[in-house]
Amino acid sequence: MFRASGSQALGFFDDPANPMKEESPMKLEALDRAHLIHPITEFRSHEEKGPTIVTGGEGIRIRTADGETLIDGCSGLWNINIGHGRSEIADAVAKQMKEVAYYPGFWEFSTEPAITLAERLAKLMPAESGLDRFLFTTGGSDANETNFRIAHLYHAARGEPGRRKILSRAHAYHGTTRWAASATRLPAYHIFAEPDPLYVEVPAPYCYRCELDKECPSCDLACVDSLEETIQREGAETIAAIIAEPVLGTGGIIPPPDGYFQKVRETCDRHGILLILDEVITGFGRTGRWFGMETYDVRPDLASFAKGITSGYQPLGAVGLSQSVYENIRDRSPRGLPFMVGLTYNNHAASCAAAHANLDIVEREGLVDNSAQVGSYLLEQLHNAFDDHPFTGEIRGVGLMTGIEWARPGDKKPVGPKPMAYPAAICSEARRRGLIVRTLWETIGVSPPLCSTREDIDEIVGILVESVKAVAT
Ligand code: PLP
Protein backbone atom coordinates (compact mmCIF):
# COMPACT_ATOMS: atom_id res chain seq x y z
CA MET A 1 0.00 0.00 0.00
CA PHE A 2 1.18 3.51 -0.86
CA ARG A 3 1.91 5.54 2.25
CA ALA A 4 2.16 9.28 2.69
CA SER A 5 5.75 10.40 2.81
CA GLY A 6 7.07 11.19 6.24
CA SER A 7 5.63 8.08 7.83
CA GLN A 8 8.95 6.25 8.00
CA ALA A 9 10.70 9.32 9.30
CA LEU A 10 8.21 9.51 12.12
CA GLY A 11 9.09 5.91 13.02
CA PHE A 12 5.53 4.70 13.16
CA PHE A 13 6.24 1.21 11.88
CA ASP A 14 8.81 0.06 14.36
CA ASP A 15 7.37 1.63 17.47
CA PRO A 16 8.09 -0.87 20.25
CA ALA A 17 5.51 0.79 22.49
CA ASN A 18 2.73 0.13 20.01
CA PRO A 19 0.73 -2.82 21.37
CA MET A 20 -1.20 -3.19 18.11
CA LYS A 21 0.88 -5.94 16.53
CA GLU A 22 0.25 -9.03 14.43
CA GLU A 23 -3.06 -10.68 15.29
CA SER A 24 -4.52 -8.23 17.73
CA PRO A 25 -5.80 -5.80 15.07
CA MET A 26 -7.59 -8.69 13.37
CA LYS A 27 -9.25 -9.59 16.62
CA LEU A 28 -10.19 -5.99 17.29
CA GLU A 29 -11.58 -5.71 13.78
CA ALA A 30 -13.81 -8.71 14.37
CA LEU A 31 -14.98 -7.34 17.71
CA ASP A 32 -15.70 -3.97 16.15
CA ARG A 33 -17.81 -5.55 13.42
CA ALA A 34 -19.62 -7.59 16.05
CA HIS A 35 -20.33 -4.97 18.70
CA LEU A 36 -19.48 -1.37 17.94
CA ILE A 37 -21.88 1.00 16.22
CA HIS A 38 -20.35 3.84 14.20
CA PRO A 39 -22.16 7.16 13.67
CA ILE A 40 -23.21 8.11 10.13
CA THR A 41 -22.23 4.65 8.84
CA GLU A 42 -24.34 2.01 7.16
CA PHE A 43 -24.46 -1.14 9.31
CA ARG A 44 -24.28 -3.50 6.32
CA SER A 45 -21.31 -1.86 4.65
CA HIS A 46 -19.47 -1.53 7.95
CA GLU A 47 -19.82 -5.24 8.64
CA GLU A 48 -18.45 -5.91 5.16
CA LYS A 49 -15.56 -3.46 5.23
CA GLY A 50 -14.69 -3.39 8.94
CA PRO A 51 -13.05 -0.53 10.81
CA THR A 52 -9.82 1.39 10.38
CA ILE A 53 -8.35 1.20 13.84
CA VAL A 54 -6.46 4.34 14.76
CA THR A 55 -3.58 3.67 17.12
CA GLY A 56 -1.98 7.08 17.42
CA GLY A 57 -0.85 10.17 15.65
CA GLU A 58 1.51 13.07 15.58
CA GLY A 59 0.92 16.56 14.22
CA ILE A 60 -1.33 16.37 11.17
CA ARG A 61 -0.92 12.60 10.74
CA ILE A 62 -2.60 9.58 12.27
CA ARG A 63 -1.38 6.01 12.23
CA THR A 64 -3.50 2.92 11.94
CA ALA A 65 -3.27 -0.63 13.24
CA ASP A 66 -2.33 -1.97 9.84
CA GLY A 67 0.68 0.28 9.58
CA GLU A 68 -0.65 3.11 7.45
CA THR A 69 0.12 6.75 8.07
CA LEU A 70 -2.60 9.10 6.89
CA ILE A 71 -2.73 12.86 6.68
CA ASP A 72 -5.73 14.09 8.63
CA GLY A 73 -7.02 16.52 6.03
CA CYS A 74 -10.23 17.11 8.01
CA SER A 75 -8.75 17.59 11.49
CA GLY A 76 -10.94 14.65 12.54
CA LEU A 77 -14.30 16.42 12.37
CA TRP A 78 -12.89 19.97 12.18
CA ASN A 79 -11.96 19.61 15.80
CA ILE A 80 -8.36 18.42 16.19
CA ASN A 81 -7.07 21.95 15.72
CA ILE A 82 -3.71 21.55 17.47
CA GLY A 83 -3.00 18.23 15.79
CA HIS A 84 -2.39 14.80 17.27
CA GLY A 85 -0.17 13.46 20.00
CA ARG A 86 0.09 16.47 22.32
CA SER A 87 0.98 14.75 25.55
CA GLU A 88 0.88 17.94 27.58
CA ILE A 89 -2.89 17.77 27.43
CA ALA A 90 -2.79 14.26 28.86
CA ASP A 91 -0.57 15.56 31.66
CA ALA A 92 -2.94 18.45 32.42
CA VAL A 93 -5.97 16.15 32.47
CA ALA A 94 -4.19 13.55 34.61
CA LYS A 95 -3.16 16.24 37.08
CA GLN A 96 -6.71 17.54 37.29
CA MET A 97 -8.16 14.04 37.65
CA LYS A 98 -5.86 13.29 40.55
CA GLU A 99 -7.19 16.38 42.31
CA VAL A 100 -10.84 16.29 41.35
CA ALA A 101 -11.87 14.67 38.06
CA TYR A 102 -15.43 15.83 38.26
CA TYR A 103 -18.01 17.14 40.62
CA PRO A 104 -21.46 18.29 39.46
CA GLY A 105 -21.63 21.94 38.53
CA PHE A 106 -25.22 22.09 39.77
CA TRP A 107 -26.25 24.51 42.48
CA GLU A 108 -23.33 26.25 44.14
CA PHE A 109 -20.63 23.69 43.35
CA SER A 110 -17.70 24.70 41.22
CA THR A 111 -14.16 23.69 40.29
CA GLU A 112 -11.15 25.78 39.49
CA PRO A 113 -10.68 24.80 35.81
CA ALA A 114 -14.33 25.58 35.02
CA ILE A 115 -14.15 28.97 36.74
CA THR A 116 -10.90 30.00 35.09
CA LEU A 117 -11.97 28.68 31.68
CA ALA A 118 -15.13 30.81 31.81
CA GLU A 119 -13.00 33.84 32.65
CA ARG A 120 -10.54 32.94 29.87
CA LEU A 121 -13.31 32.71 27.27
CA ALA A 122 -14.73 36.04 28.41
CA LYS A 123 -11.33 37.59 27.72
CA LEU A 124 -10.89 35.79 24.38
CA MET A 125 -14.19 37.08 23.00
CA PRO A 126 -13.97 40.14 20.77
CA ALA A 127 -14.08 43.28 22.92
CA GLU A 128 -17.55 44.48 21.98
CA SER A 129 -19.12 41.02 21.77
CA GLY A 130 -20.80 41.37 25.15
CA LEU A 131 -20.43 37.60 25.64
CA ASP A 132 -19.41 37.36 29.21
CA ARG A 133 -21.07 34.34 30.85
CA PHE A 134 -20.43 30.71 29.96
CA LEU A 135 -21.88 27.31 30.69
CA PHE A 136 -19.91 24.26 29.58
CA THR A 137 -21.66 21.39 27.82
CA THR A 138 -20.36 18.07 26.49
CA GLY A 139 -20.36 19.00 22.78
CA GLY A 140 -21.98 21.04 20.04
CA SER A 141 -25.47 19.54 19.79
CA ASP A 142 -26.18 20.02 23.47
CA ALA A 143 -24.71 23.52 23.32
CA ASN A 144 -27.29 24.36 20.64
CA GLU A 145 -30.11 22.63 22.54
CA THR A 146 -29.14 24.66 25.58
CA ASN A 147 -29.14 27.88 23.62
CA PHE A 148 -32.64 27.18 22.30
CA ARG A 149 -33.83 26.67 25.89
CA ILE A 150 -32.10 29.87 26.95
CA ALA A 151 -33.74 31.78 24.08
CA HIS A 152 -37.17 30.53 25.20
CA LEU A 153 -36.42 31.39 28.78
CA TYR A 154 -35.21 34.88 27.84
CA HIS A 155 -38.43 35.70 25.99
CA ALA A 156 -40.64 34.14 28.65
CA ALA A 157 -38.87 36.16 31.35
CA ARG A 158 -39.52 39.31 29.30
CA GLY A 159 -43.21 38.50 29.06
CA GLU A 160 -43.26 37.00 25.57
CA PRO A 161 -43.65 33.25 26.14
CA GLY A 162 -45.23 32.93 22.68
CA ARG A 163 -41.83 33.32 21.04
CA ARG A 164 -41.15 29.62 20.50
CA LYS A 165 -40.02 29.30 16.90
CA ILE A 166 -36.41 28.94 15.85
CA LEU A 167 -35.28 29.94 12.36
CA SER A 168 -32.35 28.24 10.68
CA ARG A 169 -30.93 28.25 7.20
CA ALA A 170 -31.04 25.74 4.37
CA HIS A 171 -27.87 23.57 4.35
CA ALA A 172 -27.31 24.23 8.06
CA TYR A 173 -25.88 21.61 10.39
CA HIS A 174 -26.41 22.08 14.11
CA GLY A 175 -26.23 18.51 15.47
CA THR A 176 -28.45 15.46 15.70
CA THR A 177 -30.27 15.72 19.02
CA ARG A 178 -33.97 16.56 18.67
CA TRP A 179 -33.94 20.34 18.46
CA ALA A 180 -30.44 20.60 17.04
CA ALA A 181 -31.50 18.17 14.32
CA SER A 182 -34.64 20.22 13.71
CA ALA A 183 -32.44 23.26 13.09
CA THR A 184 -30.23 21.13 10.82
CA ARG A 185 -31.59 21.61 7.31
CA LEU A 186 -29.90 18.84 5.38
CA PRO A 187 -32.59 16.43 4.14
CA ALA A 188 -30.46 13.33 4.86
CA TYR A 189 -30.91 13.99 8.58
CA HIS A 190 -34.69 13.92 8.33
CA ILE A 191 -35.35 10.68 6.53
CA PHE A 192 -37.17 9.08 9.45
CA ALA A 193 -38.26 12.05 11.54
CA GLU A 194 -39.59 15.36 10.36
CA PRO A 195 -38.03 18.41 12.00
CA ASP A 196 -40.01 19.84 14.88
CA PRO A 197 -42.69 22.10 13.31
CA LEU A 198 -41.57 25.08 15.39
CA TYR A 199 -38.30 25.06 13.42
CA VAL A 200 -38.60 27.12 10.27
CA GLU A 201 -36.17 27.21 7.36
CA VAL A 202 -34.92 30.36 5.63
CA PRO A 203 -32.61 30.58 2.60
CA ALA A 204 -28.86 30.17 2.98
CA PRO A 205 -26.34 32.63 1.54
CA TYR A 206 -25.19 29.88 -0.83
CA CYS A 207 -24.41 32.14 -3.75
CA TYR A 208 -23.08 29.40 -6.04
CA ARG A 209 -26.48 27.70 -5.85
CA CYS A 210 -28.77 30.55 -4.93
CA GLU A 211 -32.22 29.13 -4.25
CA LEU A 212 -33.70 32.52 -5.13
CA ASP A 213 -32.00 32.43 -8.53
CA LYS A 214 -30.14 35.69 -7.93
CA GLU A 215 -26.58 36.78 -8.58
CA CYS A 216 -24.39 38.15 -5.81
CA PRO A 217 -23.74 41.05 -5.19
CA SER A 218 -26.44 42.53 -7.46
CA CYS A 219 -29.04 40.62 -5.40
CA ASP A 220 -28.51 43.03 -2.49
CA LEU A 221 -28.59 40.05 -0.14
CA ALA A 222 -32.03 38.87 -1.23
CA CYS A 223 -31.65 35.88 1.10
CA VAL A 224 -31.91 38.27 4.06
CA ASP A 225 -34.94 39.95 2.46
CA SER A 226 -36.42 36.50 2.35
CA LEU A 227 -35.66 36.10 6.07
CA GLU A 228 -37.62 39.32 6.60
CA GLU A 229 -40.54 37.89 4.59
CA THR A 230 -40.50 34.73 6.70
CA ILE A 231 -40.61 36.83 9.86
CA GLN A 232 -43.60 38.78 8.48
CA ARG A 233 -45.36 35.58 7.49
CA GLU A 234 -44.75 33.69 10.76
CA GLY A 235 -45.14 36.74 13.00
CA ALA A 236 -42.16 38.15 14.88
CA GLU A 237 -44.06 37.61 18.14
CA THR A 238 -43.78 33.83 17.56
CA ILE A 239 -40.03 33.74 16.87
CA ALA A 240 -37.39 33.32 19.57
CA ALA A 241 -34.15 33.18 17.61
CA ILE A 242 -32.29 32.48 14.42
CA ILE A 243 -29.28 30.19 14.55
CA ALA A 244 -26.46 30.42 12.00
CA GLU A 245 -22.99 29.01 11.45
CA PRO A 246 -20.60 31.83 10.51
CA VAL A 247 -19.46 29.52 7.70
CA LEU A 248 -21.86 26.73 6.77
CA GLY A 249 -19.69 23.67 7.44
CA THR A 250 -21.26 20.28 6.84
CA GLY A 251 -23.51 21.92 4.25
CA GLY A 252 -20.42 22.34 2.03
CA ILE A 253 -18.02 24.98 3.46
CA ILE A 254 -20.02 28.04 2.45
CA PRO A 255 -18.74 31.41 3.68
CA PRO A 256 -21.24 34.29 3.66
CA PRO A 257 -21.06 37.18 1.19
CA ASP A 258 -19.96 40.62 2.40
CA GLY A 259 -22.48 42.40 4.58
CA TYR A 260 -24.61 39.29 5.12
CA PHE A 261 -24.33 39.07 8.88
CA GLN A 262 -24.73 42.84 9.34
CA LYS A 263 -28.08 42.66 7.53
CA VAL A 264 -29.14 39.59 9.52
CA ARG A 265 -28.16 41.34 12.77
CA GLU A 266 -30.12 44.43 11.81
CA THR A 267 -33.17 42.32 10.89
CA CYS A 268 -33.02 40.49 14.23
CA ASP A 269 -32.74 43.75 16.15
CA ARG A 270 -35.75 45.21 14.38
CA HIS A 271 -37.90 42.26 15.45
CA GLY A 272 -36.51 41.45 18.90
CA ILE A 273 -35.23 38.09 17.63
CA LEU A 274 -32.08 36.66 19.21
CA LEU A 275 -29.11 35.80 17.00
CA ILE A 276 -27.39 32.55 17.99
CA LEU A 277 -24.04 32.01 16.31
CA ASP A 278 -23.06 28.37 16.06
CA GLU A 279 -19.28 28.63 16.36
CA VAL A 280 -18.85 24.89 16.88
CA ILE A 281 -16.53 24.62 13.87
CA THR A 282 -15.47 28.23 13.41
CA GLY A 283 -14.51 28.90 17.03
CA PHE A 284 -10.91 28.85 18.25
CA GLY A 285 -9.07 29.75 15.09
CA ARG A 286 -10.51 27.75 12.22
CA THR A 287 -11.35 30.84 10.12
CA GLY A 288 -8.03 32.58 10.78
CA ARG A 289 -9.41 34.71 13.63
CA TRP A 290 -10.26 33.44 17.08
CA PHE A 291 -13.96 33.33 16.25
CA GLY A 292 -16.17 33.55 13.18
CA MET A 293 -17.90 36.53 14.80
CA GLU A 294 -14.63 38.42 14.37
CA THR A 295 -14.05 37.25 10.83
CA TYR A 296 -17.51 38.49 9.85
CA ASP A 297 -17.74 41.33 12.35
CA VAL A 298 -21.04 40.31 13.91
CA ARG A 299 -22.06 40.22 17.55
CA PRO A 300 -24.43 37.47 18.63
CA ASP A 301 -26.77 37.34 21.61
CA LEU A 302 -25.88 33.72 22.26
CA ALA A 303 -23.11 31.53 20.90
CA SER A 304 -22.34 27.80 20.82
CA PHE A 305 -18.82 26.38 20.93
CA ALA A 306 -17.29 22.90 20.98
CA LYS A 307 -14.71 21.02 18.87
CA GLY A 308 -11.64 23.32 18.87
CA ILE A 309 -12.17 24.25 22.52
CA THR A 310 -10.31 21.04 23.48
CA SER A 311 -9.18 19.94 20.00
CA GLY A 312 -11.05 16.73 20.79
CA TYR A 313 -8.73 15.66 23.60
CA GLN A 314 -11.77 15.62 25.91
CA PRO A 315 -15.44 16.13 25.08
CA LEU A 316 -16.51 19.70 25.78
CA GLY A 317 -18.77 22.40 24.41
CA ALA A 318 -19.90 25.77 25.71
CA VAL A 319 -22.66 28.30 25.45
CA GLY A 320 -21.91 31.98 25.77
CA LEU A 321 -24.54 34.50 26.87
CA SER A 322 -24.39 38.18 26.23
CA GLN A 323 -24.59 40.30 29.32
CA SER A 324 -27.99 41.55 28.20
CA VAL A 325 -29.48 38.03 27.82
CA TYR A 326 -27.99 37.05 31.15
CA GLU A 327 -29.31 40.12 32.96
CA ASN A 328 -32.79 39.80 31.48
CA ILE A 329 -33.03 36.21 32.71
CA ARG A 330 -31.52 37.10 36.08
CA ASP A 331 -33.61 40.17 36.73
CA ARG A 332 -36.92 39.21 35.15
CA SER A 333 -37.37 35.56 36.11
CA PRO A 334 -39.74 34.98 39.01
CA ARG A 335 -37.82 35.03 42.29
CA GLY A 336 -36.94 31.48 43.37
CA LEU A 337 -37.14 29.98 39.87
CA PRO A 338 -33.83 28.22 39.13
CA PHE A 339 -32.21 28.29 35.70
CA MET A 340 -33.81 25.01 34.60
CA VAL A 341 -31.01 23.84 32.32
CA GLY A 342 -28.74 21.10 33.54
CA LEU A 343 -26.65 18.24 32.21
CA THR A 344 -24.79 15.95 34.58
CA TYR A 345 -21.53 16.82 32.87
CA ASN A 346 -21.95 20.59 32.64
CA ASN A 347 -18.74 22.39 33.65
CA HIS A 348 -16.71 19.13 33.73
CA ALA A 349 -13.43 19.78 35.55
CA ALA A 350 -11.16 17.37 33.61
CA SER A 351 -12.54 18.55 30.26
CA CYS A 352 -12.06 22.19 31.26
CA ALA A 353 -8.45 21.37 32.20
CA ALA A 354 -7.99 19.88 28.71
CA ALA A 355 -9.40 23.08 27.20
CA HIS A 356 -6.88 25.19 29.11
CA ALA A 357 -3.95 23.05 27.96
CA ASN A 358 -5.27 23.15 24.39
CA LEU A 359 -5.69 26.94 24.43
CA ASP A 360 -2.18 27.28 25.89
CA ILE A 361 -0.86 25.51 22.79
CA VAL A 362 -3.00 27.58 20.41
CA GLU A 363 -1.70 30.79 22.00
CA ARG A 364 1.93 29.73 22.43
CA GLU A 365 2.28 28.47 18.86
CA GLY A 366 0.30 31.29 17.25
CA LEU A 367 -2.05 28.81 15.60
CA VAL A 368 -4.78 31.36 14.89
CA ASP A 369 -2.42 33.44 12.75
CA ASN A 370 -1.06 30.25 11.23
CA SER A 371 -4.60 29.29 10.27
CA ALA A 372 -4.98 32.63 8.45
CA GLN A 373 -1.65 32.43 6.66
CA VAL A 374 -1.46 28.74 5.82
CA GLY A 375 -5.18 28.84 5.07
CA SER A 376 -4.79 31.50 2.40
CA TYR A 377 -1.87 29.53 0.96
CA LEU A 378 -4.11 26.44 0.84
CA LEU A 379 -6.86 28.34 -0.97
CA GLU A 380 -4.34 29.75 -3.43
CA GLN A 381 -2.87 26.31 -4.11
CA LEU A 382 -6.32 24.80 -4.63
CA HIS A 383 -7.06 27.55 -7.14
CA ASN A 384 -3.75 26.94 -8.92
CA ALA A 385 -4.38 23.23 -9.05
CA PHE A 386 -8.05 23.12 -9.98
CA ASP A 387 -9.27 26.40 -11.47
CA ASP A 388 -8.84 25.03 -14.98
CA HIS A 389 -10.37 21.65 -14.30
CA PRO A 390 -13.60 21.26 -16.30
CA PHE A 391 -15.54 20.00 -13.27
CA THR A 392 -14.49 22.64 -10.79
CA GLY A 393 -17.70 24.38 -9.81
CA GLU A 394 -16.38 26.61 -7.05
CA ILE A 395 -13.36 26.72 -4.77
CA ARG A 396 -14.07 28.57 -1.54
CA GLY A 397 -13.09 28.92 2.06
CA VAL A 398 -11.60 31.00 4.80
CA GLY A 399 -8.72 30.17 7.12
CA LEU A 400 -8.14 26.44 7.25
CA MET A 401 -11.70 25.68 6.21
CA THR A 402 -11.78 25.15 2.47
CA GLY A 403 -13.74 23.18 -0.08
CA ILE A 404 -13.92 22.38 -3.77
CA GLU A 405 -17.40 21.96 -5.17
CA TRP A 406 -17.55 19.81 -8.29
CA ALA A 407 -20.22 20.27 -10.93
CA ARG A 408 -20.87 19.82 -14.60
CA PRO A 409 -20.26 23.07 -16.44
CA GLY A 410 -23.44 24.86 -17.46
CA ASP A 411 -26.14 23.06 -15.55
CA LYS A 412 -24.13 22.56 -12.32
CA LYS A 413 -25.45 19.00 -12.06
CA PRO A 414 -23.42 16.33 -10.22
CA VAL A 415 -20.47 15.09 -12.25
CA GLY A 416 -20.79 11.40 -11.46
CA PRO A 417 -23.49 8.89 -12.37
CA LYS A 418 -25.31 9.73 -9.14
CA PRO A 419 -25.10 12.50 -6.55
CA MET A 420 -21.83 12.58 -4.60
CA ALA A 421 -20.30 9.76 -6.66
CA TYR A 422 -17.55 11.91 -8.16
CA PRO A 423 -16.29 13.59 -4.97
CA ALA A 424 -16.59 10.25 -3.15
CA ALA A 425 -14.39 8.59 -5.78
CA ILE A 426 -11.78 11.34 -5.40
CA CYS A 427 -11.84 10.95 -1.61
CA SER A 428 -11.34 7.17 -1.93
CA GLU A 429 -8.38 7.74 -4.24
CA ALA A 430 -6.93 10.30 -1.85
CA ARG A 431 -7.34 7.88 1.02
CA ARG A 432 -5.42 5.21 -0.94
CA ARG A 433 -2.66 7.78 -1.38
CA GLY A 434 -2.51 8.61 2.32
CA LEU A 435 -4.87 11.58 2.71
CA ILE A 436 -8.19 11.73 4.51
CA VAL A 437 -10.56 14.31 3.03
CA ARG A 438 -14.29 14.33 3.23
CA THR A 439 -17.27 14.62 0.89
CA LEU A 440 -19.81 17.23 1.83
CA TRP A 441 -22.46 16.55 -0.82
CA GLU A 442 -20.79 17.65 -4.10
CA THR A 443 -17.98 19.38 -2.22
CA ILE A 444 -14.73 17.97 -0.92
CA GLY A 445 -13.79 19.58 2.38
CA VAL A 446 -10.12 20.23 3.02
CA SER A 447 -9.51 21.44 6.57
CA PRO A 448 -6.25 20.18 8.08
CA PRO A 449 -5.16 21.02 11.64
CA LEU A 450 -4.20 24.60 12.45
CA CYS A 451 -0.58 23.51 12.97
CA SER A 452 -0.22 22.63 9.25
CA THR A 453 2.76 24.04 7.38
CA ARG A 454 3.08 25.15 3.76
CA GLU A 455 4.96 21.90 3.06
CA ASP A 456 2.00 19.97 4.47
CA ILE A 457 -0.31 21.93 2.18
CA ASP A 458 1.88 21.13 -0.84
CA GLU A 459 1.67 17.46 0.05
CA ILE A 460 -2.11 17.59 0.53
CA VAL A 461 -2.74 19.44 -2.73
CA GLY A 462 -0.29 17.14 -4.54
CA ILE A 463 -2.23 14.07 -3.39
CA LEU A 464 -5.51 15.71 -4.39
CA VAL A 465 -4.18 16.48 -7.87
CA GLU A 466 -3.08 12.85 -8.36
CA SER A 467 -6.39 11.59 -7.01
CA VAL A 468 -8.46 13.77 -9.33
CA LYS A 469 -6.36 12.58 -12.29
CA ALA A 470 -6.94 8.97 -11.29
CA VAL A 471 -10.73 9.26 -11.22
CA ALA A 472 -12.45 8.53 -14.49
CA THR A 473 -15.48 10.64 -15.33
N1 PLP B 1 -22.83 22.65 15.10
C2 PLP B 1 -21.99 22.56 14.07
C3 PLP B 1 -21.75 23.75 13.18
C4 PLP B 1 -21.32 21.36 13.81
O5 PLP B 1 -20.51 21.26 12.76
C6 PLP B 1 -21.54 20.27 14.67
C7 PLP B 1 -20.86 19.00 14.44
O8 PLP B 1 -20.21 18.77 13.44
C9 PLP B 1 -22.45 20.41 15.72
C10 PLP B 1 -23.06 21.63 15.91
C11 PLP B 1 -22.75 19.27 16.63
O12 PLP B 1 -21.70 19.07 17.52
P13 PLP B 1 -21.52 17.67 18.25
O14 PLP B 1 -21.27 16.67 17.20
O15 PLP B 1 -20.36 17.91 19.17
O16 PLP B 1 -22.77 17.40 19.01
pLDDT digits (tens, 9 = 90+) for 380-430: 999 999 999 999 999 999 999 999 999 999 999 999 899 999 999 999 999
Q: Is 278 in the pocket of ligand 1 (CB under 6 A)?
A: yes
Pocket test for ligand 1, best of 171, 280, 282, 345 (most atoms within 8 A of CB): 280
246 lines ligand 1 (CB under 6 A): no
Cβ(281) – ligand 1 distance below 6 Å:
yes
Is the CB of 174 within 6 Å of ligand 1?
yes
Bond from prior residue into 195 cis (ω within 30 degrees of 0): no
The CA 431 to ligand 1 mean position distance, Å, reads 24
Q: Looking at residues 314-337, what average pLDDT do you find?
A: 96
Output the pLDDT for position 127. 86
Find the 184 Cα to ligand 1 centroid distance in Å.
10
CA of 244 to the centre of ligand 1 (A): 12
pLDDT of 6:
34
Distance 281 CA to ligand 1 centre (A): 7
How far is residue 231 CA from its own chain's centroid?
27
- Average pLDDT along the chain: 94
Region 25-48: what's the mean pLDDT? Answer: 95
pLDDT digits (tens, 9 = 90+) for 135-155: 999 999 999 999 999 999 999
Q: Which of 4, 153, 112 is nearest to 67 (CA)?
A: 4
Protein residue with its CA nearest to atom 12 in ligand 1: 140
227 in contact with ligand 1, CB cutoff 6 A:
no
pLDDT at 12 over 70: no
CA of 118 relative to ligand 1 center, distance in Å:
21
Tell me the per-residue pLDDT of 342-363, one tens digit each, with 9 for 90 and over: 999 999 999 999 999 999 999 9
Atom of ligand 1 nearest to the CA of 306: 15
pLDDT at res. 412: 96
Q: Would you place residue 278 in the very low, low, confident or very high pLDDT band (cuts 50, 70, 90)?
A: very high
131 and 303 Cβ atoms separated by less than 8 Å: yes
In tens, the pLDDT along 297-309 reads 999 999 999 999 9
State the pLDDT at residue 11.
36
Q: What confidence score (pLDDT) does residue 259 get?
A: 98
Mean pLDDT of 111-122: 98
Alpha helices in 167-285 (DSSP H): 178-183, 222-234, 260-271
How far does the centroid of ligand 1 lie from the alpha carbon of residue 305, in Å? 9
- In the prediction, which pLDDT does 321 show? 98
Say if ligand 1 is within 6 A of residue 245 CB.
Answer: yes
Number of neighbours of residue 26 by Cβ within 10 angstroms:
12
Please state the pTM of the whole predicted model. Answer: 0.94
Instruction: Name which of 400, 401, 426 is nearest 435 in CA terms.
Output: 426
Confidence at residue 193, expressed as pLDDT on a 0 to 100 scale: 87
C-alpha R_g of the chain: 23
CA of 279, closest atom in ligand 1:
3
C-alpha pair distances (Å), 163 with each of 233, 239, 323, 386: 14, 5, 20, 47
pLDDT band at 23 (very low <50, low <70, confident <90, very high): low
Mean pLDDT, residues 107-126: 97
447 lines ligand 1 (CB under 6 A): no
Give pLDDT, residue 168: 98
Give the bridge partners for 319, in sequence order: 135, 304
Q: Is the CB of 73 under 6 A from ligand 1?
A: no
Q: Is 141 in the pocket of ligand 1 (CB under 6 A)?
A: yes
Q: Is the pLDDT of residue 80 over 70?
A: yes
Kindly give the number of the ligand 1 atom that is closest to the alpha carbon of 140. Answer: 12
Could you identify the atom of ligand 1 that is nearest to the CA of residue 139?
15
The pLDDT of 40-44, averaged and rounded, is 95
- Which atom of ligand 1 sits closest to the CA of residue 77? 8
Ligand 1 binding pocket includes 279 (Cβ within 6 Å): no
294, 295, 299, 303: CA torsion to nearest 10: -90
In this structure, the number of other CB atoms found within 10 A of the CB of residue 348 comes to: 27
CA of 140 to the centre of ligand 1 (A): 4
Q: pLDDT, tens digit, for every residue of 196-230?
A: 999 999 999 999 999 999 999 999 999 999 999 99
CA max distance for the chain: 68
Q: Is the distance from the beta carbon of residue 282 to the nearest atom of ligand 1 less than 6 Å? A: no
The pLDDT tens digits for 147-187 are: 999 999 999 999 999 999 999 999 999 999 999 999 999 99
3-state DSSP assignment of residue 242 = strand
Share of the chain above pLDDT 90, in %: 92
Q: What are phi and psi of 184, to 5 degrees?
A: -70, 125
Cβ of residue 319 lying under 6 Å from some atom of ligand 1: no
Task: Please tell me if the CB atom of residue 312 comes closer than 6 angstroms to any atom of ligand 1.
Answer: no
- C-beta 294 within 6 A of ligand 1: no
